[in-house]
Amino acid sequence: MNVVLFGPPGAGKGTQAKELAKHYQIPHISTGDILRANVRDGTELGKEAKGYMDKGELVPDDVLIGIIKNRLAESDCKPGYLLDGYPRTTPQADALSAILEVIGMPLEVVLNIDVADEELVTRLCGRHMCTCGESYHMKFNPPEKENVCDACGAELYQRDDDKEDVIRQRLDSYKEKTQPLINYYKEKGLLVDIDGTGAIDRVFSDICNILDQYK
């Protein structure tokens, strides 16, 4: 099962991907999580990426293409992959096609999770994250124990880029650079729209109804 989860910041990609990865037993590959781990570890890559991330701008394409190429070559991707947050530009999408052709695992479906802008801002302003990649929301999806990750027990934190001014910049970057990929994948016949509003488990079952066709 070879899938891209597509949508603006806050659409629920990470939330859905965590559950889908368990349900279908395929790896969840989040370029945001990979970049944040590099920033935390203080790697060269993390140092290069941090400035862009703090401003809500996209990290340069060559950096992302390198990351995704290495990650897709790992053996856990043999049964398939669930990409979250990649591709975000046309050059990234072109590079992805080339990489996938070489490894013989072409993309089967791009799920476009749709949520209105104001709802995205409310979601991101209240988002609490865990370093393990789980995300929660103070109101919409609280953890069982306040400020503690249900999955791993670590303390939750708010992302530096989940502040309203940076959120607006991320939404602008999305509209300018990423949204054009909707037509790109529509023309390839790969795009399926998902209504991302409503309960998390309703969105999950809508996605499963689509993905079950690719099992």
Task: Mark the binding-site residues for Zn(2+), compressed into ranges.
Answer: 130, 132, 149, 152
Instruction: Report how far apart the first and last C-alpha atoms of the chain are (Å, whole number).
Output: 6
Kindly state the smallest distance separating residue 137's Cβ from ligand ADP, in Å. 3
Q: Does 29 bind ligand ADP (CB under 6 A)?
A: no
Kindly state the smallest distance separating residue 126's Cβ from ligand ADP, in Å. 6
Kindly state the smallest distance separating residue 57's Cβ from Zn ion, in Å. 27
Residue 71 annotated among the catalytic residues of the structure: no
Please identify, among the stretches 71-79, 120-128, 150-158, 182-190, the one whose residues bind ligand ADP according to the rule CB under 6 A.
Answer: 120-128
Q: Does 179 bind ligand ADP (CB under 6 A)?
A: no
The entry of Zn ion, ligand ADP, none that residue 14 binds, CB within 5 to 8 Å by partner kind: ligand ADP
Q: Does 28 bind ligand ADP (CB under 6 A)?
A: no
The entry of Zn ion, ligand ADP, none that residue 151 binds, CB within 5 to 8 Å by partner kind: Zn ion
What are 7's two structure tokens?
A: 């949508």
Among 151, 180, 183, 197, binds Zn ion (CB under 5 A): 151
Q: How far apart are CA 48 and CA 144, in angstroms?
A: 36
Question: Cβ contacts of residue 27 below 8 Å, gap of 6+?
Answer: 21, 74, 76, 77, 81, 82
Kindly state the smallest distance separating residue 51's Cβ from ligand ADP, in Å. 9
Cβ-based nearer residue to ligand ADP, 44 or 215: 44
Cβ-based nearer residue to ligand ADP, 2 or 92: 92
Among 27, 109, 135, 156, binds ligand ADP (CB under 6 A): 135
User: Which residues are near Zn ion by CB under 5 A?
Assistant: 130, 132, 134, 149, 151-152, 154
Catalytic sites, residue numbers: 13, 88, 127, 159, 170
